[in-house]
Structure 1
């Protein structure tokens, strides 16, 4: 593969890493919000012992699980992109050696 092609792929990959990192930052903020919300709903359900508060708690817990799953997917994607970046950098390094 030509060095120009590898450099182009490296630039594109770097942009994807930056975008994924930004997305991950947003998701992590949302995760903290939903953790707080789920904990508040859990305490409210324990104190009030009503079906409505229990459903609210369950809904908040489901949201927390969904956001956490999204975070895990982004972390996996970021690891994949970083691995690809390392591979591209290795190719460039071999060209210069």
Structure 2
């Protein structure tokens, strides 16, 4: 692979990593918000013991679980991109030598 192609691919992966990390930061903030909401709804359901409060708790928990899955997918994608970046860097260094 030519040096210019390696540089371009490395730049693309680096940019994708930056964007994924930004999205992860947002997802983590949202996850904290949803988890707090789910905890509050759980406490309200325990105290009130009404079907409506229980339903609200389950809905809030579903939102928190969905955000946790999204966050986990982002972490997996970042890990994969870091691996690709490492391989490209190794090839780049090998090309220089």
TM-score by length of 2: 0.99
Paired residues, number: 97
- Measured in 2, the distance between the counterparts of 1:19 and 1:83 equals 16
Match of 1:69 in 2: 69
Ranges in structure 1 where 5+ consecutive residues have no aligned partner = none
Ranges in structure 2 where 5+ consecutive residues have no aligned partner = none
Instruction: Kindly state the Cα deviation for residue 96 of structure 1 after the two structures are TM-superposed.
Output: 1.6
Match of 1:23 in 2: 23
Instruction: Kindly state the Cα deviation for residue 82 of structure 1 after the two structures are TM-superposed.
Output: 0.4
CA deviations on 1:38-79 (whole Å, 9 max, x unpaired) are: 000000000000000000000001001100000000000000
- Measured in 2, the distance between the counterparts of 1:42 and 1:10 equals 46
Mapping of 1:8-87 within 5 angstroms?
8-87=8-87
> Stretches of 4+ moved more than 6 A in 1?
none
In angstroms, what is the RMSD of aligned CA positions? 0.4
TM-score by length of 1: 0.99
Instruction: Kindly state the Cα deviation for residue 9 of structure 1 after the two structures are TM-superposed.
Output: 0.2
